[in-house]
Amino acid sequence: MIENARTGSVSAPGRWRRWPSWAGYATFGWATVYGGFGLVSTLTGTGVFHRAAEPLPVSLNWIIVVAAVVASVTALAAVRPWGWRIPRPVISVMLAGLCVVSGVAAFGLLMDVITVAFTGSVDSWTATANRALAAVGVLLLIATARSHRSSAYGTCPRCGVAHASLTPRSRPEPTSAPPHVRVLAYAGAAAFLPYAAMKTTWALGGTFAGVSGARMLATMERNGASGVMLALERWGIDATVLLAALGAFLIFGLVRPWGQVFPRWTLVLRGRRVPRWLPLAPALIGAATLAPYGAVGIVYAALGTSGAVTLSRGDFPTSGDALLVAWIGLGAFAVYGITLGVAAWSYLCRTRPVCVATGAGIP
């Protein structure tokens, strides 16, 4: 098995490998379901868009309905013969625009997952369902766009090269990311060190930014933290520090060869190739969430530091204490989110399978 990982695995195209043939129809099905979700929520007066815990006007739900109708027509135009009457750039632009709209609607899904893990609930399950459906739509729209582009230019949607039919594909040998990408990844992981030190200080009962560990624990209990999270906190272990450690492990795996092959301690799986989606899914979702969240937060913290806006002190004694915590937390999110996106893109390019031509006289 180890030798197979070193030389690159070759696999015949299966149902999932033939995704260009059904991606457009899957997108049409998703648009139908998503549009129905938006229509029902609108007619029942249920808001699906939230700002923090506050629901936004129900009238915004019509955005889902309109986007779903446009997505269904565009998806069919990308796969049906009548779609060739429409200029190809128009369909490509429409699919790209729908990806952006769906991506904006999906923003916050990672935060919902973390909230469920820590508290067992979220502010609105309807809003979470909307984000999950939108995230599925982003993936299907990207697949449809790639399939449409390949049919328009006569290239393979998997490898980008023109060849006659679907062929087996081979994954490149595990390699490290370029040096500058590795440096960025290490910087992204190091950005969590001040954050981990702050949270660990509270977990061990110490005082930071004018707040003691006991008071922070009481705040967590008041905010509905789960029993597991509270138990860890009492043992001196902060759950978010564990997530930061997992984030560092993820970004290291994206830039090092061992992130492409299961290590020896996995026993049965050792030596086998890591499925690309396994590290890429959390990496892309994390980058799409943390980078903009942290960047906007840093701008807000900078405005608060300059006195342009008044930053709420929350549970902290002074606004200065709140600003200190904001810079540490939001700075970590921004730096890690951006570097995670760079590392994920590098991993995506380095592990992209290549189609292997087979047949008589063809090497």
Higher-confidence residue: 245 or 167? 245
* For residue 146, pLDDT beyond 90: no
* For residue 361, pLDDT beyond 50: no
The H or E element containing residue 134 is helix 125-153
Distance between CA atoms of 14 and 5, rounded to whole angstroms?
A: 20
**CA-CA distances (angstroms) from residue 119 to 170, 243, 299?**
43, 15, 29
How confident is the prediction for the chain on average, in pLDDT?
86
Q: What is the mean pLDDT of residues 151-178?
A: 72
Distance between CA atoms of 172 and 9, rounded to whole angstroms?
A: 8
Distance between CA atoms of 70 and 226, rounded to whole angstroms?
A: 41
Distance between CA atoms of 328 and 303, rounded to whole angstroms?
A: 15
97-131 pLDDT, tens digit per residue, is 999 999 999 998 988 888 887 777 888 899 999 99
Residue type at 316 in one-letter notation: F
CB atoms within 10 A of CB 231: 12
**CA-CA distances (angstroms) from residue 342 to 107, 157, 339?**
19, 23, 5
Q: What is the mean pLDDT of residues 287-315?
A: 89
198-243 pLDDT, tens digit per residue, is 999 999 999 999 999 999 989 888 877 778 888 888 898 999 999 9
In this prediction, residue 3 carries a pLDDT of: 40
pTM of the full structure:
0.83
Domain ranges of the chain: 15-157, 179-354
| Residue 184, Cβ density class (10 Å: 0-12 exposed, 13-18 middle, ≥19 buried) | buried
Q: What is the mean pLDDT of residues 138-146?
A: 92
pLDDT > 90 in the chain, percent:
53
Q: What is the mean pLDDT of residues 50-60?
A: 82
Q: Which of 37-51, 223-237, 260-274, 294-308 has the lowest mean pLDDT?
A: 260-274
* For residue 357, pLDDT beyond 70: no
Q: What is the 3-state secondary structure (H, E, C) of 23-75?
A: HHHHHHHHHHHHHHHHHHHHHCCCCCCEECCEECCHHHHHHHHHHHHHHHHHH
Distance between CA atoms of 5 and 256, rounded to whole angstroms?
A: 15
With cut-offs at 50, 70 and 90, classify the pLDDT of residue 342: very high
The H or E element containing residue 207 is strand 207-208
Q: What is the mean pLDDT of residues 148-153?
A: 76
Q: Is residue 239 within 8 Å of residue 227, measured between CB atoms? A: no
Distance between CA atoms of 137 and 8, rounded to whole angstroms?
A: 32
